[in-house]
């Protein structure tokens, strides 16, 4: 299999994991991604759109639907009175943690047949692709001892 097919099919595989986890927790894959991004901190709408690579109208709809479900809230931006930030509600924070843990578990299982050296090589190569293409942080990296944390370098 060539690199293009492998990357595209891998993306479909990860998207399927988000969809499975989302069905279990009653959220869409996009809402799950939003919750995972907001685990780190509240985001302004512009920054959130750039991070999730969504157009303003798509992001507004996503935030509206997620807000109606009681998982996020809009709050004033302390640095700009004209802007709002999106933050997790208490319920959203709890659901995000559960969704995140289950999604990590499922993604961790994907390369289970690889030996540790191959898993490390896969992580290294994918990490290079992510960094070289300046992909924003959209998923915190799990630390087995302490739960979610901000990723090293992306």
Domain boundaries, the chain: 3-110
Q: CA 20, CA 130: separation in Å to the nearest integer?
A: 24
CA 149, 113, 28, 83 torsion: positive or negative? positive
Q: What is the pLDDT of residue 143?
A: 54
Neighbours of 84 (CB within 10 A): 16
- pLDDT tier for residue 38 given thresholds of 50, 70 and 90: very high
pLDDT tens sequence across 106-149: 999 999 999 999 999 999 999 999 899 887 776 666 654 444 44
Question: Is residue 7 over pLDDT 50?
Answer: yes
Q: Which 8-state DSSP code applies to residue 5?
A: H
Distances (CA, A) of 11 to 3, 17, 62: 12, 10, 21
Q: How would CATH label the architecture of 3-110?
A: Orthogonal Bundle (1.10)
Q: CA 22, CA 18: separation in Å to the nearest integer?
A: 6
pTM (predicted TM-score): 0.80
Q: What is the pLDDT of residue 96?
A: 95
- Number of residues assigned to the chain: 154
Q: What is the pLDDT of residue 142?
A: 61
Residue 1 burial class via C-beta count within 10 angstroms: exposed 0-12, middle 13-18, buried 19 and up? exposed
């Amino acid at each position: 299999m060539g690199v293009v097919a492998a990357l595209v099919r891998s993306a479909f595989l990860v998207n399927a994991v988000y969809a499975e986890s989302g069905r279990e927790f009653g959220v869409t894959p996009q809402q799950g991604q939003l919750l995972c991004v907001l685990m780190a901190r509240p985001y302004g709408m512009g920054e959130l759109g750039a991070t999730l690579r969504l157009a303003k109208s798509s992001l507004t709809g996503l935030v509206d639907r997620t807000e109606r479900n009681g998982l996020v809230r809009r709050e004033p931006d302390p640095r700009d009175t004209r802007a709002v930030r999106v933050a997790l509600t208490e319920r959203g924070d709890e659901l995000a943690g559960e969704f995140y843990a289950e999604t990590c578990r499922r993604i961790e299982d994907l390369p289970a047949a690889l030996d540790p050296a191959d898993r490390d090589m896969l992580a290294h190569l994918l990490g290079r692709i992510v960094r070289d293409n300046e992909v924003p942080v959209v998923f915190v990296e799990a630390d087995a001892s302490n739960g979610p944390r901000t990723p090293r370098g992306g």
